[in-house]
């Protein structure tokens, strides 16, 4: 079995944003606390609620008003995204003091492969987990939960299904005992299975993770082909492997260095209905994407543009991609091509969300020169702007159109992930 | 999730494709990884400086090919060529028309010595 001898932790921070806020402000001790987005910009939902708030019925992703109706003394705090990133990085550094194999999976979940260092701490994974848990609690003030197993996919499922629910926050999922633990759970508790997939599985007579794991792979492929077509073989095998805990993927510290695509998406504060307004957003997004490409030393060859209408239940808009005339990380190159896609495919209906992304990377240190090449001259100008922004912040220099009513760059410069820094 | 690359042995696609990371968090992670690879400047003792000076002098006077190891905080860098000028006062030397600072030198060896 691949990875049989490994010891992998998936460590999750409980109610991360709310826990950071409580750790920073001792006056919040004993009070129900929630971190919630900005109501004026339609993002007034609960991003994180502390266990005290959850005990009163407050749930993540519900509207602020609903949460307050359940818990009148709920303390609402606006998110400070940069602070949460800083705390997440500090937690990474703590994990790195126990193993050099640490991989962030999200802002509040990280994998640690302790196979090589476990013997230094007595050889007992649970004891080491307790030691790290205490270390993080004392240094950062955040409670962590540990899923432990011999692969990443079992460690993740151990954490989500067991460690988050037991008192110690630590759970070892043994491969030999899957039949008595993970396999007993309903199939919707499996990693990567959402409500639609659950419904499909249930119609196929698969109710538990064990039902899925014990269905012979060939049979599962055949049944999924009947439902999703002949291209579903890979999906069937991925699901079957997850159910059986088969995953030899490494814990990869540098995983974020090798980005395969760079994209930015913006949800607009109101419907944008004219081409002139949307041009501003496309340009601002191209600036962000081009800047990120330059920061990782890459030029992209394939450009994707997507627009969505205001009513997400009745989708309008488009998502299209094109090959650029030459690989680039210059804003104007991306912008002119993005607008040509936009003009060809926009149906003229109001737009609420716009996304731009670039893939097909090559390094930017060597490239073939072409006629009408913007990369040398504009690339140097944009590199100078990048240095200014790195030093003084994103709002220090921006295009004049970003100062119009349609522009979002100024507001976005103050935010991370749509919430204030 | 119907992508065959997810089934590649030893790959990390299952996790790379499913993770939710803020771009700013990715940047912080990348910067952190870069910092972990930061190298310290090597201390060079008197005997090593004497070897370096001898190699420089042979390259400058006899036009011999030299390989010079230079300090870089993140990667191993080497200069290969012939030392054309030495500016003692400015603390720099020239190889193939380009100036480099003395204080970044970490080692130097003549190409014919390197072969031995």
Chain B residues whose CB is inside 8 A of the A296 CB are: 30
Quick one: A335 and A398 in the same domain?
Answer: yes
Q: What is the CATH number of the domain that holds A202?
A: 1.10.150.20
Is residue A83 one of the residues assigned to a domain? Answer: no
CA angle, residues A63, A68, A69, in degrees to nearest 5: 100
Residues in B closer than 8 angstroms to A260, CB to CB, are: 16
Give a three-class secondary structure readout of B54-106. HHHHHHHHHCCCEEEEECCCCCCEEEEECEEEEECCCCEEEECCEEEEHHHEE
- Cβ–Cβ gap B24/A253 under 8 Å: no
Q: Could you tell me if residue B55 is inside a domain?
A: yes
A108 labelled binding-site residue: yes
Assess whether A321 and A380 both reside in one domain.
yes
Q: Are residues A327 and A209 in the same domain?
A: no
> Which residues of chain A make contact with B4, given a CB cutoff of 8 A?
234
Residue B114: its pLDDT value, please?
62
Dump the DSSP string for A72-90.
Answer: TTPEEE---HHHHHHHHHH
Q: Fill in the DSSP letter of residue A108.
A: T
Mutate to test the interface with A, among B28, B35, B36, B75 (most CBs of A within 10 A): B28
Q: Looking at chain A, which residue has its C-alpha nearest residue B4?
A: A234
The interface residues of chain A toward chain B in range 147-206, judged by CB-CB distance below 8 A, are 152-153, 192
Is A134 among the domain residues? no
To the question of whether residue A373 is assigned a binding role by annotation, the answer is no
Whether residue B15 lies within 8 A of chain A, CB to CB, comes out as yes
Distance between B109 CA and the closest CA of chain A, angstroms: 28
What domain range is B53 assigned to? 9-116
| A76 occurs within a structural domain | no
Q: Is residue A405 part of a domain?
A: yes
- Indicate the pairing of strand A8-13 with strand A144-149: antiparallel
In total, how many domains does chain A have? 2
If asked whether residues A274 and A390 sit together in one domain, one would say yes
Q: Do A293 and A366 belong together in one domain?
A: yes
Chain segment A190-220, per-residue pLDDT in tens? 999 999 999 999 999 999 999 999 999 999 9
- For residue B64, the model assigns a pLDDT of 93
- Test the B interface: residue of A234, A241, A413 with most B CBs within 10 Å: A234
Do residue A299 and residue A392 come from a single domain? yes
Q: Which residues of B touch A1 (CB under 8 A)?
A: none
Instruction: Say if the Cβ atoms of B19 and A88 lie within 8 Å.
Output: no
Candidate from A232, A241, A256 with C-beta closest to B26 = A256
The pLDDT tens digits along chain B (116 residues) read 446 777 888 888 889 888 888 888 988 898 898 888 888 888 899 999 999 999 999 999 999 999 999 999 888 899 999 999 999 999 999 998 999 999 999 999 998 776 54
Same domain, A347 and A378: yes
Contacts of A384 (CB under 8 A, 6+ apart): none
Q: How far is CA A121 from the centre of its chain?
A: 32
B3 touches chain A (CB under 8 A): yes
Nearest CA in chain B to A90: B32
Amino acid A229: pLDDT: 83
Residue to substitute from B17, B21, B31, B75, interface A, most A β-carbons within 10 A: B21
Task: Tell whether B44 is covered by a domain.
Answer: yes
CB contact under 8 A, A255 and B25: no
User: Do A301 and A372 fall within a single domain?
Assistant: yes
Strand A109-113, strand A8-13: pairing: antiparallel
Q: Is the CB of residue A265 less than 8 Å away from at least one CB of chain B?
A: no
ipTM of model over 0.85: no
d(CA A366, CA A387): 21
Are residues A232 and A294 part of one domain? no
In the predicted model, residues of chain A with pLDDT beneath 50 are: 1-3, 42
Asked if the structure places residue A254 within a domain, the reply is: no
Residue B35 lies in a domain: yes
A306, A213: one domain? no
**In this structure, is residue B29 part of a structural domain?**
yes
Is residue B107 a part of any domain in this protein? Answer: yes
All residues at 6 or more sequence positions from A25 whose CB lies less than 8 Å from its CB, including other chains = none
A418 interface with B at CB cutoff 8 Å: no
Tell whether B22 is within 8 A of chain A (Cβ): yes
- Does residue A290 belong to any structural domain of this protein? yes
CB A310 within 8 A of CB A272: no
Asked whether residue B2 is assigned to any structural domain, the reply reads no
Same-domain check for residues A234 and A309: no
- Pair A206, A291 in one domain: no
- Sequence-ordered alpha helix ranges (H) in A71-183: 81-96, 125-140, 152-158
The torsion defined by the Cα of A109, A296, A290 and A394, in degrees rounded to 10, comes to 70
The CATH number that applies at residue A345 is 3.30.1490.100
Q: Which residue of A has its CA nearest to B13?
A: A249
CB pairs under 8 A between A and B: 90
The count of structural domains within chain B is 1
Residue B29 has its nearest CB partner, among A104, A232, A264, at: A104
Q: B25 and A104: CB-CB below 8 Å?
A: yes
> Is B4 inside any structural domain?
no
Chain A nearest C-alpha distance from B88 (Å): 33
What residues contact residue A246 under an 8 Å CB cut-off, 6+ apart?
A1, A2, A151, A153
Q: Which domain holds residue A320?
A: 261-420
Q: Note whether A232 contacts B2, CB cutoff 8 Å.
A: yes
- For residue B10, the model assigns a pLDDT of 82
pLDDT of residue A3: 43
Q: Just list the catalytic residues of A.
A: 109
Strands in A15-131 per DSSP E: 33-36, 46-49, 75-77, 102-106, 109-113
B47 touches chain A (CB under 8 A): no
For residue A407, give both structure tokens: 């522009």
On whether any CB of chain B is under 8 Å from the CB of A244, the answer is no
């Amino acid at each position: 079995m691949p990875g049989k001898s490994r010891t992998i932790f998936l460590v999750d921070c409980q109610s991360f944003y709310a826990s950071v806020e409580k750790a920073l402000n001792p006056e919040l001790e004993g009070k129900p606390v929630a971190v919630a987005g900005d109501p004026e910009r339609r993002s007034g939902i609960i991003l994180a609620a502390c266990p005290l708030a959850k005990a009163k019925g407050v749930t993540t992703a519900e509207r602020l008003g609903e949460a307050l109706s359940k818990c009148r003394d709920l303390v609402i705090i606006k998110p400070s995204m940069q602070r949460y990133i800083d705390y997440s990085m500090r937690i990474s550094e703590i994990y790195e003091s126990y193993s050099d194999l640490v991989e962030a999976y999200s802002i509040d979940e990280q994998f640690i492969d302790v196979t090589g260092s476990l013997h230094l701490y007595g050889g007992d994974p649970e004891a080491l987990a307790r030691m790290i848990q205490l270390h993080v609690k004392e240094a950062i003030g955040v409670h962590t939960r540990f899923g432990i197993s011999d692969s990443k996919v079992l460690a993740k499922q151990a954490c989500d299904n067991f460690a988050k629910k037991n008192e110690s926050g630590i759970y070892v999922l043994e491969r030999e005992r899957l039949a008595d633990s993970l396999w007993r759970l309903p199939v919707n508790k499996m990693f990567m299975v959402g409500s639609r997939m659950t419904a499909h599985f249930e119609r196929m007579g698969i109710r538990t993770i064990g039902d899925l794991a014990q269905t012979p792979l060939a049979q599962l492929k055949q049944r999924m082909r009947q439902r999703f077509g002949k291209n579903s073989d890979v999906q069937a095998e991925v699901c079957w492997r997850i159910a059986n805990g088969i995953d030899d993927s490494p814990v990869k510290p540098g995983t974020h260095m090798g980005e395969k695509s760079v994209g930015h998406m913006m949800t607009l504060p109101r419907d944008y209905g004219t081409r002139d307004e949307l041009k501003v957003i496309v340009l601002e997004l191209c600036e962000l994407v081009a800047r990120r490409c330059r920061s990782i030393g890459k030029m992209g060859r394939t450009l994707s543009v997507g627009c969505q209408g205001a009513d997400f239940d009745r989708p309008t808009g488009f998502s299209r991609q094109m090959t650029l005339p030459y690989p680039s990380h210059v804003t104007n190159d991306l912008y002119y091509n993005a607008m040509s896609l936009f003009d060809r495919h926009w149906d003229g209906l109001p737009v609420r969300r716009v996304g731009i992304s670039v893939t097909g990377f090559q390094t930017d240190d060597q490239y073939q020169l072409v006629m009408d090449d913007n990369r040398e001259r504009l690339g140097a100008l944009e590199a100078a702007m990048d240095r200014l922004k790195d030093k003084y912040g994103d709002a220090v220099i921006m295009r004049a159109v970003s100062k119009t009513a349609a522009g979002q760059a100024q507001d976005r410069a103050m935010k991370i992930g749509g919430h204030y820094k | 999730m119907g992508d065959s690359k997810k089934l590649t042995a030893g790959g990390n696609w299952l996790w790379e494709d499913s993770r939710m990371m803020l771009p700013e968090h990715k940047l912080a992670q990348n910067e952190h990884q870069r910092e972990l690879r930061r190298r310290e400047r090597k201390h060079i003792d008197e005997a090593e400086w004497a070897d370096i000076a001898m190699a420089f002098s042979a390259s400058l006077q006899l036009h011999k090919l030299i390989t010079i190891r230079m300090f870089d905080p993140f990667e191993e860098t080497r200069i290969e060529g012939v030392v054309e000028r030495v500016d003692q006062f400015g603390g720099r030397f020239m190889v193939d028309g380009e100036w480099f600072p003395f204080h970044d030198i970490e080692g130097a060896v003549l190409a014919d010595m390197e072969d031995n």
